[in-house]
A and B are shown apart, each in its own frame.
Chain A
Amino acid sequence: MKTILVVDDSRSLRQMVAFCLTSAGYQVSEAADGVEALEITQGQQFDLILTDQNMPRMDGLAFIESLRTQTAYQKIPILMLTTESSDEMKAKGRAAKATGWLVKPFDPEKLIAVVKKVIS
């Protein structure tokens, strides 16, 4: 079973995403911010990471940058779930070596379709 880590500071959003992905047959772990996500990724390998940008302690970009320095996560797809989708943010996402982005809000079907595109 493919494993996905969902990183978002909003509990409701995190659970919604986790619920949708679980229903679609993925195994999902959750983290509330970048720091927690880094801790989790130390001990477990995921097939996909979905992360929010605006979070306390460590934001999404910093998390992605840090994660990409780990050998195990250099080629793992990372999608940013973001409301900030300006060209500036896109450039930053690219620089941090994110794989792609998904604009919030999204509906469950779209989320699953995008996830399926990345890990089938």
Chain B
Amino acid sequence: MKYISEFRSPEIVDALLKEIKRTVHSDWNIMEVCGGQTHSLVKNGLLNMLPSNVQMIHGPGCPVCVTPVSLIDKAVHLAMEHDVILCSFGDMIRVPGSGMSLLEAKAKGGDVRILYSPLEAVKIAKDNPDKEVVFFAVGFETTAPANALSVVHAHREGIKNYSILTSHVLVPPAMEAIMSDDDCRVDGFLAAGHVCAIMGISEYYPLVEKYKIPIVVTGFEPVDLLEGILMVVKQLESRQYRLENQYTRVVETEGNKNAIDTIDKIFEVTSREWRGIGNIPFSGYAVKENYSHYDANRKFNIDITEAHEDPTCLSGDVMKGKIKPHQCPNFGNRCTPVKPLGAPMVSSEGACAAYYHYNMTGATVDR
């Protein structure tokens, strides 16, 4: 496929690996922020091909992983107690809540539907005017325009029985939270390419300046990731720190204005609780007052007793880059994709799931 196969070219991968090996002299820790990048690094075997003095640290960029348990409990509650059609991306469906996951709710008779796009949920609402339809709107900035657009479509068509349960999170505040941690050992970042396709790159200049770290906006294919790593390593080795854009075929400096306008129409910035990390100020989106009729949080009276999760789960340390998934004592024994303790073991972008599926253990990782 054009624009995919050439970015998986073994010849270019080889050329980039040689260049990285030529360039690197010191030990560096580079964090890839996005879970999609983590999976690409692991799935394509890149972690094992990089020189051992370039260590990749896996960041918190998996929205499913950071969605609070209390919100999953709300979604389950809506499906079981409010007789709604609860629509969700497939990623969310097996993540454990306090009591059960959405998949278990579906097995117990809840009308839980897995969709590819929130726009499909609007069609379901149109076709089922006597039922309330709720879309579980999780995601980073990349997904915010689509979720906002579903509200725009519902509003335009006068559809009243549609709402979204929002758990939108933002990347730059999470990077700030990671860098401000005293134990942080990140020397440079690969910023998430598709987030920047929406928002542009200017949000990252303050982080570069404040923490004096290289940030390179990077794509998702093997060639993209290695080129991004090479750009970070070149800066680190020459003791420079700049914001650079590797993913120029997709990311424009100013982002996508139409998408930003659509987000601004429906959402406002709010503080958010991140599962495993805690509360981060101004780190998410909530539905604006003008569109409160489309906000499931306001529309339904959801009374949830306190949410709880397994206290032995170390997913917060994994997402902050303090440990690698296989270093968690629960990895692969008490915690597996079939019976996960935390979300990163079950989400398709979770670092724990990537390490488990591609057999990344102490023997293969700690070189």
- Are the chains A and B members of one assembly? no
